[in-house]
Structure 1
Amino acid sequence: MNYRHAFHAGNHADVLKHVVLLAMLDALMRKDAPFFVLDTHAGRGRYLLQGRQAGRTGEAGTGILQLAGAGKAPPVVARYLRAVAADNPVDALLAYPGSPLLAAQAMRPQDRLAACELQPEEAEALKALFGHDPRVAVHARDGYDAVRALLPPRVDGVRYARGLVLVDPPYEAQDEEYPRVARAVREALERWPQASCAIWYPVKQRRSLQPFFRKLEALPARSVLLAELLVRPDDSPLRLNGSGMAILNPPWKLDGEIAPALPYLQQRLGEAGASTRLEWLRREAQARP
């Protein structure tokens, strides 16, 4: 695997993914009971936006840098911007926090995070980042295999009834990746039925995703919600026209919290022909937590 997220850190896909992730974490924190997060493809945790890799592509300029200082934003976007700012000097945006760092920043003392990263260099950076945080365990291993090894979660004798599985692979070989994602999420839900699962996926052409969506509908989840942001038409020849988050067993009222963010992000980040989508693939009545 040759993928390095540093080339793409802070782009429009990261913005959508992390807005949704933080909204889900905030929902978990509405109860005092502890929760557990499994991040299957964690990366290195923090990325320098002025570094050689991020600077080469400039993708943050189409994402977080477009939003910084943009003024009044919907609550979930404003919350995301505060989280990014918390990892930077005042009035400067030098670094971008990845999913595991955003999760750790949000967690309380009783919560736990398992961050998996297969690439040795990235895993070493992740270990250095969290070396003094007892709430975070870094696993230099395949995140799909970790689903079986780490779920249902039990840490230091504590069973975690609530939590989140984040699946964010690089999709280098998409024909292979989508079935692996579906199998891993099925196993996660079978082993830990109370969990919410969030899957990031790229959108090049929406119609090509239909087989994947059918697999998601067949998984043992109560509900499946899709949230998408396309920054250009999905027939554009450019490589990544947008992305989405498939959320299985979403927290109560998550759709209503995300809904105002999508048109705002479309306006701020989109080109001509940009669009959004917030749709239930399957929806069962959600009981108030």
Structure 2
Amino acid sequence: MLSYRHAFHAGNFADCLKHTLLLQLLDGLNRKDKPWLALDTHAGAGLYELGAAQAQKTGEYRDGIARLWSRADLEPELAAYVAAVRSENPDGRLSRYPGSPALIRQRLRDRDRLIACELHPGDQPSLKALFAADRRIAVHKRDGYEAAGAFLPPPERRGLLFVDPAYELAGEFERLLKLVGQVHRRWREGTVAIWYPILDRAPSERFCRALAASGVPALLRIELGLAPYDTPLGMKGSGVIVCNPPYQLDVAARRWLAQLQGILSDSGSGETRVEWLTTA
């Protein structure tokens, strides 16, 4: 049963992390002229109205993108992220938030492609309508894990697998571990980015230890925490595992993550982490 709707969480602190990183990964691909494919396994609705009932019910964007919206002192990577959100709000007011497929569309060139997968019956029609006129984008009502097996490696050979599950079901980390191994065996030149929540440290630590022991090279862990992870109420941190990241992504992330944590954390007790689980 699919119940997760990103409309309740669009633009929150986790999105600030994952989408700043996403844009860096896409900009890395665009440093070369050769075309690439992005496969977004859990694409959502694509674009979210922050004035809608879902976003207003939680108000999570107010402690995320809204805190960055008017700042003029942002690190270049954070400024690029805010500029990407601004491009979906031409009147200058923060009223819409682009999800990962909309951000990927902004970076697509003529020969690049996006495959966006979404199963939720409430979100998939919106996603399909959003990209109906763009020949570079294909929308599939299809399980994202299954799609990775079907579409990778792509003819372009270069590209990004972006995995942002809802973590509704037991065994999600195990599925992700299997996915990383499968993709590495078939598509070693591709980049994989996997987002995960941190409600307490243990589940993500087990996942990262298993990845480190898997033998897959060039695995980078990037985390943002706004409070101690074992604080009892709600998600206090999240992270992204990047397999085969672009050159010096770790160096840039250490710089802008520190600023992002300072802007978003009220308690001052959070932390950031940038470390290699395995080397190249």
TM-score band by shorter chain is over 0.9
Which SS does the other structure have where 1:257 is aligned?
A: helix
TM-score scaled by structure 1? 0.94
Query: Structure 1: which 4+ aligned runs deviate by more than 4 Å?
Result: none
Q: Does 1:166 align with 2:162?
A: yes
After the TM superposition, which residues 36-115 of structure 1 pair with which residues of structure 2 at under 5 Å, given as runs? 36-115=37-116
After the TM superposition, which residues 238-277 of structure 1 pair with which residues of structure 2 at under 5 Å, given as runs? 238-272=233-267, 273-277=269-273
Q: Does 1:227 align with 2:222?
A: yes
Task: Quote the Cα distance in structure 2 between the aligned partners of 1:202 and 1:18.
Answer: 14
Q: Is the 8 A contact 1:190 1:220 kept in 2?
A: no
Q: CA deviation at 1:107?
A: 1.1
Q: Does 1:199 align with 2:194?
A: yes
After the TM superposition, which residues 113-192 of structure 1 pair with which residues of structure 2 at under 5 Å, given as runs? 113-153=114-154, 159-173=155-169, 175-192=170-187
Relative distance call for 1:209 and 1:31 in structure 2 (3 A) is same
Per-residue deviation, residues 198-241 of structure 1 (Å, max 9, x unmatched) = 00000112233222012222445321111111111112112100
Letter in 1 for 2:262: Q
- Give the root-mean-square deviation of aligned CA atoms: 1.1
Letter in 2 for 1:39: D
Task: Quote the Cα distance in structure 1 between the aligned partners of 2:273 and 2:5.
Answer: 28
Runs (5+) with no aligned partner, structure 2 = none
User: Counterpart in 2 of 1:278?
Assistant: 274
Which SS does the other structure have where 1:120 is aligned?
A: coil
TM-score scaled by structure 2? 0.96
The number of residues matched between the two structures is 278
Q: Is the 8 A contact 1:189 1:220 kept in 2?
A: no
Task: Quote the Cα distance in structure 2 between the aligned partners of 1:86 and 1:102.
Answer: 10
Letter in 2 for 1:74: E
Q: Is the 8 A contact 2:9 2:58 kept in 1?
A: yes
Task: Quote the Cα distance in structure 2 between the aligned partners of 1:150 and 1:208.
Answer: 29
Q: CA deviation at 1:121?
A: 2.3
Q: CA deviation at 1:271?
A: 2.3
Task: Quote the Cα distance in structure 1 between the aligned partners of 2:214 and 2:82.
Answer: 33
Which SS does the other structure have where 1:69 is aligned?
A: coil
